[in-house]
Copies of this chain bind each other. A is one copy, B any other.
Amino acid sequence: MRPTTLQPAISLAEQKAIILQEGRRVTSYDVALVAGVSQSAVSRCFKPGASVSKKTYERVMKAAEGLEYIPNAAARSLITRRTNIVAIVVSHSSMLYNPAALSELSQQLNRRGKRALLFTMQHEGEIEQILTDVWQFQVDGVIAASKLTPAHVEEFRRRQVPLVVFNRHLRDMDVNTVLCDQFEASRALVSRLAAAGHRQFALIGGPEQNSVARERLRGALDRIEELGLPAAPVFYGCFDYSSGVAGLHELIARIGAVPDVVICGNDAMAMGCVDAARQHLHIDVPSQMSVVGCDAVEGSQWLSYELTTLRQPLHKMAIATADLMCGLIEADGEVEAEKRVFAAQFVEGETARLHAPRAVLAA
């Protein structure tokens, strides 16, 4: 380290010239030199709640401003073992189909003094590579909206990196989780639709590997069986609009008739299904067939759709996730894994018939 000789304070302009000439960055040492104090005094001035005299503080701050000094986070984190960075791991598709979630998460983290390091993946398989990077960057924690194996979770524990799983159901894993109870929501949805007289259900689900999509399907199928309704065919889509279009055509072919109601794994597919019904097949929605989505994204409530759907309390979930994460970072050690489960909110919309018709006609 450079000697911390305490000279009577060099002029700001002089020091600025030196820095510029040497082509280096402004350090706390430069500030100390100009302010005429020790380097550690400068450091203390930038630490909230440290003991510094008013006089010292002012001289340091003046010098710091003059030099446009800003502490180097890398150097700080090296010793504090905190980066104030939280990684968010998210798939390309959840970003496209539910951008609000990422936006909310990022905002809630920012509000708590954390920054979001974004990792997007095309395929869930890229997780290995991403985790290697995550370890390198020494992030304070990871918020994952992606599939994780027990081995991955175990590695988080070993490395003592806090992990919160967002909106994924990691069955039987002891891991912090914030999610919406898709299973229960789907069950309740089926109950309500059945009460309105719907009997033949058909399902357009998300990708088979996706845990959220799976839960939604499971809940619906579970309740359909429980109620003794006719078996519901399932079409596995990939969350995009065209899956909804293709799904409806396929399901009708399989059943050999128009189903009473189609439950879709997200809104984009539901809107595809509505459009296919109305525009390709001239089926009136909801009088001839009901369609239900999931997520209540922006466009789903626009006049051309007014989709019947389930809204996830994204804002609350983001708050819970950020709180949980910050708690874990503070705790800095063994804490019981916590699961915060939220209920989905039903959005009535205009694409499902929710009351029994005057006279229920048997087909």
Chain A residues proximal to chain B, CB less than 8 Å: 68, 70-75, 77-78, 83, 85, 88, 92, 95-96, 99-100, 102-103, 106-107, 110, 115-120, 122, 132-133, 135-138, 155, 158-159, 241, 245, 268, 271-272, 274-276, 278-279, 298-299, 302-305
Contact = CB atoms under 8 A, between A and B. Distances in A.
A271 B138 CA distance: 44
Contact of A120 (B70, B106, B136): B106
Given A115-B133, A241-B298, A103 B120 contact: yes
Contacts of A71: 136
B136 A70 contact: yes
B73 A136 contact: yes
Contacts of A133: 115
Contacts of A136: 70-73
A117 B118 contact: yes
Contact of A117 (B72, B77, B115, B274): B115
A73 to B, nearest CB: 4
9 contacts: A70-B136, A74-B75, A85-B137, A88-B118, A96-B100, A110-B120, A268-B298, A276-B303, A279-B304
Contacts of A103: 92, 95-96, 120
B118 A116 contact: yes
Contacts of A138: 72-74
A117 B85 contact: yes
Contacts of A110: 119-120
Contacts of A75: 74, 78
A78 B241 CA distance: 47
Contacts of A72: 78, 136, 138
A53 B117 CA distance: 36
Q: Indicate the member of A78, A85, A278, A303 with the most B CB atoms within 10 Å.
A: A303
Nearest to A102: B95
A29 B210 CA distance: 41
Contacts of A155: 68
B272 A302 contact: yes
A268 to B, nearest CB: 7
Contact of A271 (B74, B95, B132, B304): B304
Contacts of A99: 95-96, 99, 102
Q: Indicate the member of A78, A138, A299 with the most B CB atoms within 10 Å.
A: A299
Nearest to A245: B303
A132 B115 CA distance: 12
A304 B100 CA distance: 23
A118 B137 contact: no
A118 B92 contact: no
Contact of A115 (B68, B118, B305): B118
Contacts of A107: 92, 120, 122
Given A99-B99, A275-B304, 17 more contacts: A72-B136, A73-B136, A74-B75, A74-B77, A74-B138, A96-B103, A96-B298, A103-B120, A107-B120, A271-B302, A274-B304, A275-B302, A275-B303, A276-B303, A278-B303, A279-B304, A304-B305
A106 B118 contact: yes
A252 to B, nearest CB: 17
Given A95-B99, A96-B99, A106-B118, A78 B74 contact: yes
Contacts of A135: 70
